[in-house]
Amino acid sequence: MGTLTLDRQSVVPLYYQIQQSLLRQIRSGELMAGSPMPSEQEIATRLGVSRMTARQALKSLCSLGVAYSQRGKGTFVSAVKLEKNFRQVMSFSEEMGQRGSQPSSRVLRFEKAEPSEEVKEALGLIAGEKIIRLKRVRLADSISLCIECTHLPLRFFPDLPEKYDPQTSLYQALGKHYGIQIELADEVAEASVATAEEAKLLKIRAKAPVFRFTRTAFLRSGQPIEFVKSAYRGDRCRVVNRLSRQMKQLV
Amino acid sequence: MGTLTLDRQSVVPLYYQIQQSLLRQIRSGELMAGSPMPSEQEIATRLGVSRMTARQALKSLCSLGVAYSQRGKGTFVSAVKLEKNFRQVMSFSEEMGQRGSQPSSRVLRFEKAEPSEEVKEALGLIAGEKIIRLKRVRLADSISLCIECTHLPLRFFPDLPEKYDPQTSLYQALGKHYGIQIELADEVAEASVATAEEAKLLKIRAKAPVFRFTRTAFLRSGQPIEFVKSAYRGDRCRVVNRLSRQMKQLV
DNA sequence: AAGTGGTCTAGACCACTCG
DNA sequence: GAGTGGTCTAGACCACTTG
């Protein structure tokens, strides 16, 4: 705490400077799991900010799950681990990159097409609307990991075929060329066994266990923007999730 | 908006009264997906609260995923669905209850025991510390759905065997007798096939697809409090997750 | 009694978006 | 230029926890 001096000329908000400083102290071990964070009043006094600003810094850490508050007692560092690879909205390329594996793709199809009923409903398409379909075998370090079939509404990406190399990261291309940020995805996972065709593409034996995923990705507004069906080798994949209590207020 | 009058004598915070009122309007269709919420200033003026209080109500809706803000434009109702059955920290009983199924259990074991290395590490036990082990076949409407083996640190629940009927909901009992609220869980899912023993207990054929879950549940402080290994019939279970972009600040 | 977080006020300035 | 959300201030009262 002692060493931090705030930059009041910076465009970076004060509460964010404070949050980052506290985060550094947690990572460095200066603030240990279970130990109390500096109180709102203490931060306010020491750094010469208002209590509301100090509070905003602490609350942002709570909403990240890094800390938790107890009325009348204080705010404490959570023992919950930060660095885990939780399943987030992540493309195959991003996920492999984070794991330190080299992602690559074998493109099976990349075309404009008519949507199936399932795709139509998931993407909220109007009658007659077309899609872009991209079917790939995805590999990590040259090992086939999954078969992935992505469906995008054509109207959002009319010139994707010219702009995008299907060997590369789709999410990156969507961000770069269309300014699209995926914020949310709903995903259904099923445990199943490989069909003959899947087995061949994934180089496993037929009826070996596979994960089947059905994922719909959304913009912040709730607009569905991508629908993906995929099959992952069961022997090489695990799904790690962090589950929390929430939505009590919604019910 | 027009009809709401705040109860300033209530113990319910003003921002929460406003949040609930807005939530009602969204559910009733008065505020549609994509349409703008009343602005901070508008809420403040109409209800006679400060802008910060109005803001807190709107921000709480954003953090629930119900709305989203755009600087300079306004706050809008998200098209993201509320009512979904996302995977949360939920016991088998809670999950079945929410689905409208009747949960029941066949108890295979309920005993004090020595932990395996895996359990010891997951629960952060000290040398020599014992656990309670509860192994059950869980049924929904009389159909076997999964085999579940729960491990609890004995030191937190020394008298659980006397207080708890293993046919009933464990989470409810932990809350009632020990004031314990589980807030968070990390879960690993794997796609696999049933062993001979599992097949017999679940009344499926051997090598039929199953989900395997390994779950560690935590208190808000990060203290691990429960470790569960389970196997679910693949033909009767799906895992539904809502994934979000986060943790950018952590990296 | 002292310290904590939870809520609330009445202002302020800013950057942004849109007509 | 008018309206919006993002940030910030300097106070205030409250309920709660702990010594």
Confidence (pLDDT) at A86 = 58
Partners of B11 on chain A (C-beta within 8 Å) are none
pLDDT, tens digit (0-9, with 9 covering 90-100), for B117-147: 999 999 999 999 999 999 999 988 888 999 9
Residue nearest to nucleotide D18 (CA to C1'): A73
Q: Contact, B20 vs B57, CB < 8 A?
A: no
pLDDT, tens digit (0-9, with 9 covering 90-100), for B90-126: 677 777 777 778 888 999 999 999 999 999 999 999 9
Beta strands in B59-198 (DSSP E): 67-70, 74-77, 103-113, 131-140, 143-153, 184-193
Confidence (pLDDT) at A131 = 95
> Strand A67-70 to strand A74-77: parallel, antiparallel, or no bridges (unpaired)?
antiparallel
Q: Contact, A206 vs B52, CB < 8 A?
A: no
Q: Which of A66, A189, A243 sits opposite B89 (nearest CB)?
A: A243
Report helix angle B51-63 to B40-47, nearest 10. 130
Closest-CA residue to A15 (of A43, A37, A45, A42): A43
Confidence (pLDDT) at B248 = 52
Q: Is the pLDDT of residue B58 over 80?
A: yes
Partners of B188 on chain A (C-beta within 8 Å) are 238-241
CB contact (8 A) between residue B34 and residue A244:
no
Nearest CA in chain B to A247: B64
In sequence order, the β-bridge partners of residue A50 are none
Amino acid making up residue A78: S
Nearest CA in chain B to A234: B191
On average, the pLDDT of chain B sits at 88
Closest-CA residue to A149 (of A135, A162, A165, A167): A135
Query: How many angstroms separate the CA of A60 from the C1' of C1?
Result: 31
Confidence (pLDDT) at B18 = 96
State how far the Cα of A103 lies from the Cα of B242, in Å rounded to an integer.
Answer: 24
B36 DSSP assignment: B
Confidence (pLDDT) at B251 = 53
Query: How many angstroms separate the CA of A119 from the C1' of D18?
Result: 59
Q: Which residues in chain A land under pLDDT 50?
A: none
The contacts of residue A45 (CB under 8 Å, 6+ apart) are none
Beta strands in A114-156 (DSSP E): 131-140, 143-153
Which two tokens mark A195?
């069909």
CB contact (8 A) between residue B209 and residue A222:
no
Which residues are in reach of strand C, CB within 7 A?
A 37, 39-42, 51-52, 55, 58-59, 69-75; B 13-16, 48-53, 56, 70-73
Closest-CA residue to B224 (of B99, B95, B89, B113): B89
Which residue, among B87, B215, B220, would best test binding to A if mutated, counting the most A CBs under 10 Å from its CB? B220
A127 DSSP assignment: T
What pTM did the predictor assign? 0.85
- Comparing B59 with B171, which gets the higher pLDDT? B59
Partners of B243 on chain A (C-beta within 8 Å) are 87-90, 184-187
What is the nearest CA distance from B80 to chain A, expressed in angstroms?
5
Q: Contact, B216 vs B226, CB < 8 A?
A: yes
Strand D, nucleotides < 7 Å from a protein CB: these are 3-12, 15-18
Average pLDDT over residues B53-66: 94
Residue nearest to nucleotide C7 (CA to C1'): B13
Confidence (pLDDT) at B249 = 54
Q: Which nucleotide is nearest to A54 (CA to C1')?
A: D8
- Residue B26's pLDDT band, with cuts at 50, 70 and 90, is very high
Closest-CA residue to B88 (of A12, A235, A243): A243
State how far the Cα of B88 lies from the Cα of B81, in Å rounded to an integer.
Answer: 16
3-state secondary structure of B22: helix
Nearest CA in chain A to B90: A245
> Strand B239-244 to strand B224-233: parallel, antiparallel, or no bridges (unpaired)?
unpaired
Average pLDDT over residues B225-233: 94
Partners of B20 on chain A (C-beta within 8 Å) are 249
Q: Which nucleotide is nearest to A73 (CA to C1')?
A: C4
Confidence (pLDDT) at A96 = 75
Residue nearest to nucleotide C6 (CA to C1'): A71
Confidence (pLDDT) at A128 = 92
What percent of chain B has pLDDT above 70? 92
Confidence (pLDDT) at B68 = 94
- Residue B84's pLDDT band, with cuts at 50, 70 and 90, is low
Confidence (pLDDT) at B129 = 94
CB contact (8 A) between residue A240 and residue B186:
yes
State how far the Cα of B161 lies from the Cα of B152, in Å rounded to an integer.
Answer: 12
Look-up of token digits 């020595």: B114
State how far the Cα of B154 lies from the Cα of B120, in Å rounded to an integer.
Answer: 12
CB contact (8 A) between residue B88 and residue A247:
yes
